[in-house]
């Protein structure tokens, strides 16, 4: 590496000179299709301005200099949680990425939340259903089913939960250091700051009604904060079994567990390049409206070329680095780079792949507003057609087609 030139800038300069050479060729003679194709990054685009945000430049090599196959206007499908406003409260913090931030994300919105040990995300509910992945640490969660039976459980890293629309719930950070988790809502315009909070509601109900409703004197209720507690430091809970017993009373526990040990489940598909776990209404009964795939790609691994016929795909990058090209038809394609904490989005039926571009595992979630996970693998499709039809389209030989994977691999190689 030349001194003082970082790897991605160097790559940029190298490709830039190739583009300049292609430009010179064009000027000297006729235009071939290849030369026209590379026109978007020839000549002028190869001159570095030298005033760019260096960190963003390094994180987005495929935006700084798109691959020659990218073309046309495809609206951004990436938004880093880092750019979202962080609402910091005494018991933790939260931030959200909704359709207001990422305009293509109409079907799904996401929230990251951190709770200190004892920190409580207040008892609340909302219209959207809430699917969640624990990223770090431990929490105690509560809910109640439509029969009035209670659910109390502890969740750890790699566990998921789902609270259907209108089911009241809470989350509390446990020892040693609370928790950090991802919440996914099946509505792009969901607003985490406008949920129905227990204390907010109580504070806006006449005291004599509260007294009559619970059969206690008005004086039994101390004043509550005007806007609810939202996230606040609470009392660390005791043993789980005691909390479960106390909450159940004589009714017994909820018949439906609202959580699921996702990372304890064997991989749905495992390959040399990585593995995927698929969870939806068929194996997680409490999640009839959200389907998800948890993908681990080893360095160099590829989430194969595919698309989803039944829903948009909302992505969350848990760790590592990768890139994705989304093809939007009409000769429009765009490649963007992703890393930990980024949200990605692919509209229904837009084909795409995801490649691990780093030297560590790339871990990400694909989440769908759908009862069941569904995708179409390009390789599976092409190997299940009359072969001559494929030869006529792609100009490939029988020998080449014979090497294509004949079933969906999900991950390559
Ligand atoms: Mn909630
Ligand atoms: Mn996908």
Domain chopping of the chain, boundaries? 7-68, 85-260, 265-412
Same topology, domains 85-260 and 265-412? Answer is: yes
CA of 133 to the centre of ligand 2 (A): 18
Concerning whether 366 is annotated as a catalytic residue, the answer is yes
For residue 266, give both structure tokens.
Answer: 């064997």
Phi, psi for residue 363 in degrees, rounded to 5: -120, 125
CATH topology of domain 85-260: Jelly Rolls (2.60.120)
Residues 238 and 175: their CA atoms lie apart, in Å, by 11
Cα(170) to centroid of ligand 1, in Å?
A: 7
Model confidence over 342-392: pLDDT tens digits?
Answer: 999 999 999 999 999 999 999 999 999 999 999 999 999 999 999 999 999
Q: Which of 360, 299, 352 is nearest to 327 (CA)?
A: 352
Q: Which ligand is nearest to the CA of 276?
A: 2
Cα(275) to ligand 2 centroid in Å equals 14
Q: How far is the CA of 132 from the centre of ligand 1 (A)?
A: 9
- Cα of 186 from ligand 2 centre, angstroms: 17
Residue 135: name the closest of 177, 194, 189 by CA. Answer: 177
pLDDT tens for each residue of 273-313: 999 999 999 999 999 999 999 999 999 999 999 999 999 99
Quote the distance between the C-alpha of residue 227 and its chain's center. 30
Q: Which one of the ligands is nearest to 291 CA?
A: 2
Judged by its nearest atom, the ligand closest to the C-alpha of residue 111 is 1
Residue 27 pLDDT > 60, yes or no? no
- Return the pLDDT at 146: 87
Residue closest to 127 by CA, chosen among 167, 95, 162, 100: 167
Cβ atoms of residues 96 and 189 within 8 Å: no
Residues 6+ positions from 385 with CB-CB distance below 8 Å:
none
Cα(316) to centroid(ligand 2), Å: 12
Q: Tell me: the pLDDT tens digits for 29-77?
A: 333 334 444 445 555 555 566 668 899 999 999 999 999 999 999 999 9
Q: In this structure, which ligand is nearest to the CA of 303?
A: 2
The mean pLDDT value of the chain amounts to 90
DSSP codes joined into one string, 286-326: T-SS-EEEEEEE-TT-EEEEEE-SSS-EEEEEEESEEEEEE
Phi and psi at residue 120, in whole multiples of 5°? -115, 130
pLDDT tens-digit map of 244-272: 999 998 999 999 899 999 999 999 999 99
pLDDT (average), residues 176-188: 98
CA of 107 to the centre of ligand 2 (A): 15
- DSSP secondary structure string, 96-119? EE-TTTSTT--S-EEEEEEE-TTE
SS3 235: coil
**Gap from CA of 74 to ligand 2 centroid (Å):** 17
User: How far, in Å, from the CA of 99 to the mean position of ligand 2?
Assistant: 19
The CATH code for residues 265-412 is: 2.60.120.10
Cα of 409 from ligand 2 centre, angstroms? 13
Question: Which residues are near ligand 1, the ion (C-beta closer than 5 Å)?
Answer: 130
Q: What is the pLDDT of residues 71-105, one digit of tens each?
A: 999 999 999 999 999 999 999 999 999 999 999 99
What backbone phi and psi angles, to 5 degrees, belong to 10? -65, -45
Is residue 223 exposed (0-12), middle (13-18) or buried (19+ Cβ within 10 Å)?
A: exposed
Tokens of 382: 């092409």
Ligand nearest to the CA of 77: 2
CA 366 to ligand 2 centroid distance, Å: 7
Q: Angle CA(59)–CA(63)–CA(68) in degrees, nearest 5?
A: 130
Q: Which of 130, 192, 339, 366 is catalytic?
A: 366
- Look at the block and give the residue holding tokens 């009035």: 148
Asked if 310 and 348 touch (Cβ cutoff 8 Å), the reply is yes
Cβ-based neighbour number of residue 118 at 10 Å: 18
Q: Extract the tokens encoding 257.
A: 């567990």
CA atoms within 13 A on the CB side of 44: 2
What mean pLDDT is predicted for residues 198-215?
Answer: 97
Spatial distance between the Cα atoms of 410 and 413, rounded to a whole number of angstroms: 9
User: Ligand nearest 325 Cα, by number?
Assistant: 2
- H/E stretch holding 192 reads none
pLDDT confidence of residue 40: 56
Mean pLDDT check: name the lowest of 41-45, 170-174, 197-201. 41-45
Q: Which residues surround ligand 2, an ion (CB under 5 A)?
A: 313
Instruction: Tell me what pLDDT residue 29 has.
Output: 36
Closest CA to 112 of 338, 335, 318: 318
Report the Cα 206 to chain-centroid distance in Å: 42
Identify the nearest ligand to the CA of 305 by its number: 2
Task: Give the distance (Å) from ligand 1 centre to CA of residue 195.
Answer: 7
User: Do strands 352-356 and 302-307 pair parallel, antiparallel, or not at all (unpaired)?
Assistant: antiparallel
């Amino acid at each position: 590496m030349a001194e003082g030139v970082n790897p991605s800038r160097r790559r940029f300069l190298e490709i830039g000179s190739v583009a300049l050479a292609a430009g010179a060729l064009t000027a000297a003679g006729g235009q071939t299709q290849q030369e026209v194709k590379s026109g978007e990054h020839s000549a002028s685009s190869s001159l570095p301005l030298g005033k760019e945000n260096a960190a963003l430049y390094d994180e987005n090599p495929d935006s700084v200099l798109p691959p020659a196959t990218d073309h046309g206007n495809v609206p951004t499908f990436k938004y880093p949680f880092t750019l979202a406003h962080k609402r910091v409260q005494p018991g933790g913090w939260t931030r959200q990425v909704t359709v207001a931030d990422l305009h293509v994300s109409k079907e799904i919105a996401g929230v990251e939340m951190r709770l200190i040990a004892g920190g409580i995300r207040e008892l609340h509910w909302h219209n959207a259903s809430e699917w969640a992945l624990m990223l770090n640490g431990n929490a105690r969660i509560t809910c109640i089913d439509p029969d009035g039976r209670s659910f109390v459980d502890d969740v750890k890293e790699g566990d998921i939960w789902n609270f259907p629309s209108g089911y009241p719930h809470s989350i509390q950070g446990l020892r040693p250091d609370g928790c950090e988790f991802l919440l996914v809502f099946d509505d792009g315009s969901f607003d985490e700051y406008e949920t129905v909070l227990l204390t907010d509601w109580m504070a806006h109900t006449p005291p004599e009604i509260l007294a009559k409703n619970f059969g206690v004197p008005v004086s039994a209720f101390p004043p509550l904060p005007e806007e609810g507690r939202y996230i606040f430091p609470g009392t660390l809970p005791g043993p789980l079994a005691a909390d479960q017993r106390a909450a159940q009373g004589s009714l017994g526990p909820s018949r439906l567990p609202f959580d699921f040990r996702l990372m304890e489940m064997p991989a749905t598909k495992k390959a040399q390049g990585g593995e995927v776990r698929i969870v939806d209404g068929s194996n997680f009964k409490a999640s009839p409206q959200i389907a998800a795939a948890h993908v681990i790609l080893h360095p160099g691994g590829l989430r194969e070329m595919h698309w989803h016929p039944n829903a948009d795909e909302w992505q969350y990058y848990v760790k590592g680095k990768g890139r994705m090209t989304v093809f939007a038809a009409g000769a429009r394609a765009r490649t963007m780079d992703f890393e930990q904490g980024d949200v990605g989005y692919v509209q229904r039926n837009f084909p795409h792949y995801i490649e691990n571009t780093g030297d560590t595992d790339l871990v990400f979630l694909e989440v769908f507003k759908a009862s069941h996970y569904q995708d179409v693998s390009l390789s599976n499709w092409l190997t299940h057609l009359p072969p001559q039809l494929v030869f006529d389209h792609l100009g490939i030989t029988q020998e080449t087609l014979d090497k294509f994977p004949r079933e969906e691999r999900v991950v390559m190689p």
